[in-house]
């Protein structure tokens, strides 16, 4: 027995147009688009290219889809923010601590700016 019953999850979540406009206005350099969620660490440049061509994927990650599904299930708006530190197939396994620190700082500043725009 499944506690919440059988359920088909949405494959795509759309950002509210008012929220999208506020973010675009306050953060014109932020790129918005499709983020794919999967259960593997993408390391192949060719696969990355195929996912972009087929789905328009701006990024591939492993957590955002689950966050969006739970938020949708409970009627809570959610935004997934990703600051990329590497490209699949571009020596991602050799990331320096400097790259990770820059991505973390960029993530913090982006989320802070989004919150300021929305509040």
pLDDT digits (tens, 9 = 90+) for 47-67: 888 988 998 888 888 888 888
* pLDDT for res 10: 66
Between 77 and 8, the higher pLDDT residue = 77
Answer for the pair 113, 26: CB distance below 8 angstroms, yes or no: yes
Entry pTM: 0.67
Q: Which CATH architecture has domain 17-118?
A: 3-Layer(aba) Sandwich (3.40)
Number of C-beta neighbours around residue 20 at 10 A: 13
H or E element in which residue 15 lies: none
Residue 2 has pLDDT above 80, yes or no: no
* pLDDT for res 116: 93
* pLDDT for res 69: 86
């Amino acid at each position: 027995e499944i506690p919440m019953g059988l359920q088909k999850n949405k494959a795509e979540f759309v950002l509210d147009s008012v929220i999208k406009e506020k973010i675009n206005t306050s953060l014109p350099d932020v790129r918005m688009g499709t983020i794919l969620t999967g259960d593997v660490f993408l390391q192949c440049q060719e696969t990355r290219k195929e996912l972009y061509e087929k789905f328009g994927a701006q990024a591939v990650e492993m957590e955002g889809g689950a966050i969006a599904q739970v938020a949708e299930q409970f009627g809570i708006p959610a935004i997934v923010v990703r600051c990329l530190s590497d490209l699949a197939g571009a020596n991602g396994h050799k990331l320096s601590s400097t790259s990770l620190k820059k991505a973390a700082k960029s993530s913090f500043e982006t989320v802070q700016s989004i919150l300021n725009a929305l509040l």
